[in-house]
Structure 1
Amino acid sequence: MATYHDIRRETGLSLATISKYFNGGNVLDANARAIADAAKRLDFQPNNFARNLRSRRTRSVGVLLPNLSSDFYLSILAGMERRLRARGVTMLICADHAGEGETEDAVDFLRGRMVDGIITIPSTRALPGLRRAADRGIPVVAIDWPAQGVVSDAVIIDNEEAAALAVQRLVDRGHRRIAFIGNSSTWTLRARERGARRQLARRQVSLNEDFIISTNLSVEGGRSAMQKLLLLKERPTAVICATDATGVGALTALAESGLRVPDDMSFVGFDMRRLARMTDPALDTVSQRVDDLARAATDLMLMRLDPDAPSLPPQTVVLHAEYVAGGSVASLRRS
């Protein structure tokens, strides 16, 4: 049976580095790959049960998400799982089940399974449970927005900048009547609407408040919002949808009305990269870099789980979205 000494002979690395890797500590990526490759060649299997008994750790991380039906959430999950598994850490996944009164139970469920840390896209309902977890020394990493009142690390997108990118693209192509479909229910959505408003002001484009539609964040909500815009005497020439679901609904309403994108209405979505490739024309979308989100959240959690890492105050990592141009924004500029 292979041992740490065999891996040391294969890699030339110290026993301390090899032990640190298998115990979830941070090691150089090149060293981590070398150890993982050697372990695979040698068919090395660490005794996780004995190690966990010694350390009183489970080498597992709980992941709490609003739901498990969003491509965005599932893509983050996939990225985190790859990186955690490479460090010998497993994931225990829970869904928020919004509206069913189970969120606090989900946090307590994770704590009951003795997870070493929690990574979450938090809801307001989850905050009390997350506060209790953090108060008991369980590291928490929040994705998408800072968990208010929770001592935690966070990985967020600059959502004001993201919305500004959409407005900038539309104004550059001659649009002045720009609508925005979203709502103010979350920190993220408030930042996106704020970013759109500020960029319109910077570009000296007057804002018609009738073009700001607040709706529930569903396909039907987006469909209803677009129907309201189409009933206006003076319609917008372009619309920005703040979520993928509202974007699908808005596009559905346009199709039902016999209107074409971008001939009759220009369109910019958020986080619709997969759908954007399937439509004709391809959709313009503001995209969060999911791989970067997953990597940053995982690295923060691994840092907190590393017994040799320095004790640092809560860290916030701010990432930037990218504008992916398709063919759904018409140019209104005269040649």
Structure 2
Amino acid sequence: MAAIRTLGKLCQQSQHQVCKLHTSALRQDAVVVSGRKLARQIREETQVDVEKWVLAGNRRPHLSVVLVGDDPASHSYVLNKTRAAADVGISSETILKHSDISEEELLDLIYKLNADHRVDGLLVQLPLPDHIDERVICNAVAPAKDVDGFHVVNVGRMCLDQSTMLPATPWGVWEIIKRTGIPTFGKNVLVAGRSKNVGMPIAMLLHTDGRHERPGGDATVTISHRYTPKEQLCQHTKMADIIVAAAGIPNLITADMIKEGAAVIDVGINRIQDPVTGKSRLVGDVDFEGVKKKAGFITPVPGGVGPMTVAMLMKNTIKAAKNVLQIPAERTEQQRAVSVVGHS
């Protein structure tokens, strides 16, 4: 009798192993989410919105971009933004300033653009030279024209789940998740990176109440940062249904750190030297080739979050054009007061 029971257990184990082998053989790579394709859809929606706005008798939306210095990456980003604007029917201009411009001169330019009724959306390309306080500059842009969503008023409204200008990259991540059909309600999320312009807003969008004025994702969110020990980071990533990598560290997230079927959104943009070719190339914060064999969804770099950032910026610009009719322009004295508070 004992021999029969033993034989039965061996059969069960054998069947279990065969089942596991069969399952692993059927395991497919992650769905690679094309940010370019989603961004194209959003830009088409924006183009329709812009044309409806113009046909209703309104002035064509206008975006002003202030570019300080000669950083090649910044110039490339700005060119992508102005090309996207033209593509959706938004007029734009790039105002170039030398890197030695003083903070006061830059503030005066911003106040002038704030007061210009022809300017709907306004952004100052970051980063800025070291002698200029970025927070002061972000707070100087009128909240109704702040298409980057960096003004303290817009950040505060976002944190209070109110309608506002959302930062373009976090909003792009949110749209990727929603439009791909990745569930967030009650899910565990790990956001790697706590920057005020990317990591923190992404966490806010994902964890806040879905019933509020600005609906959130109702997820349980953990934020890691540079001082999170690697072993703790691994514990959090292995529990996460969604991982958003936005730390600026190449190959931070590897296959052994994630659970089977997790959604992995790679926000990182890192330029490294290819050990084989010796040429520089762009990579994210995720080991793409390794992780895609285990994840359920993954975004590539390039071609993932980047195009979405530009697309959401266009959405914010048409929103800014409509806000001009609803939010009275602030007086220069008020703007200066806000920037002084941000500087103190």
Tell me if TM exceeds 0.5: no
Query: How high is the TM-score relative to the length of structure 1?
Result: 0.41
Query: How high is the TM-score relative to the length of structure 2?
Result: 0.41
Higher relative contact order (CA 8 A, sep 6+): 2
